[in-house]
Structure formats: structure tokens, C-alpha cells
Amino acid sequence: MNFIVYALTCPLTGEPRYVGQSSRGARRLQEHLQGTKAVDGSRYKKYWVQSLLDKGLEPGHVVLLELSGPEYLDAAEMFWIQELRSRGCALTNLTDGGGGLRGYRRQGPSSLKGKPRSPEVRAKISASLFGRPLSNEHRVKLMIAHTGKPSPHKGRSPSPEHRAKLSASLLRYHSK
């Protein structure tokens, strides 16, 4: 059978992480391991697969359904994505499946607004951003965003001398 709906699974837990379809049979599964092209669907799946490869691991795979023709391939993929999500699987699929953008939900920073993050996650984010130079455009946007807001210095504004020292250190740091 050439028409399949499959799941890529975590090699450590066995949990399904991505559901896909193929009209080329199991050859499609190998393509996930070969650099995962940028046009290749979910960027989250791409990063997940790459993170496994970086650790010397490969995702597992399981064929969920084999079909004799392409007629029901989209519907079958949509069924399995819905089924696995309802079971609590953390799929990397961006859409509800079936080819196209059906069910696309924007992922990224705006979808995380207001959601609490654990201290470990906050520490990782902080560490990844520490030392990263800011563009002049980004600095201007930050200045505009903070204009008129209270100082973060526990209810008191820094002295003019302290402001001068901060400015000098920021200029030295960003001119490197």
C-alpha cells in the first residue's frame, strides 16, 4: 500500500508527536530525517526532529492506517490528529490536517501571552537572551513602550549619576 497515515513518535516516551500522510508509502518517513526542508510543514516538527538528531536519536514511526487510494487520505489524517489530540498527545502539527491550512492556529509569542511559565522555562528564556545585542530599532521601540511608566527601581528613580553610568555601560556594551 502506498497511501498511509503515520505518526512520528518520541524515541524516549513512544508518544506520538506528529501525524502525517503519504502517497509514497514509508519513503516519506525517511524524508523527515534528511534535513527537514523549510517548506516541509510544521516548523515545530522540524525543530523537534532536529533536536532529536542533535542528540543522536531518531523519531520512531508507526503506520496508523493504510489505504488503497487517495480518496480518504485527508479525512483519515484529520481523524488521527483529532483523536491523538483528544488523548492529550502534544502534537507538533500546526493544522487539523487534511492538506491545506484547515484549523491553523497561530503559534508563537502572542499565543503564550498571559500564560504562566515555570521558573525553569523563564530561566532558559533569560539565559538564551542574555548578551544578545539589541538593534537600534528595537531599543527605540523599548524606550517608546516604557515612556511614562514607573521605574522598576522599587518605587524610586535612579539618580542622574546612576543614569549616566547605566548609559555609559550600555553604550560600551552595544558598541562591541
107 with 150, same domain: the answer is: no
12 with 99, same domain: the answer is: yes
The pLDDT of residue 166 is: 73
The stretch 54-76 carries a mean pLDDT of 88
Decide if 126 is inside a domain.
no
| HEC letters along the chain | CCEEEEEEECCCCCCEEEEEEECCCCHHHHHCCCCCCCCCCCHHHHHHHHHHHHCCCCCEEEEEEEECCCCCHHHHHHHHHHHHHHCCCCCCCCCCCCCCCCCCCCCCHHHHCCCCCCHHHHHHHHHHHCCCCCCHHHHHHHHHHHCCCCCCCCCCCCCHHHHHHHHHHHHHHHCC
Decide if 106 is inside a domain.
yes
88 with 165, same domain: the answer is: no
Decide if 119 is inside a domain.
no
107 with 143, same domain: the answer is: no
Decide if 64 is inside a domain.
yes
Decide if 120 is inside a domain.
no
Decide if 121 is inside a domain.
no
Decide if 27 is inside a domain.
yes
The pLDDT of residue 103 is: 44
31 with 100, same domain: the answer is: yes
The pLDDT of residue 1 is: 54
* Assessment of whether the complete model's pTM goes beyond 0.75: no
The pLDDT of residue 16 is: 93
The pLDDT of residue 11 is: 92
The pLDDT of residue 111 is: 52
105 with 61, same domain: the answer is: yes
The stretch 32-47 carries a mean pLDDT of 63
Q: Is 114 buried (19+), middle (13-18) or exposed (0-12) by CB count in 10 A?
A: exposed
105 with 147, same domain: the answer is: no
**How many domains, the chain?**
2
Which of 69, 88, 65 minimizes the C-alpha distance to 78? 65
- List the domain range (segments joined by +) for residue 159: 132-174
36 with 76, same domain: the answer is: yes
Decide if 122 is inside a domain.
no
Whether residue 21 is predicted with pLDDT greater than 80 in this model: the reply is: yes
The stretch 60-83 carries a mean pLDDT of 88
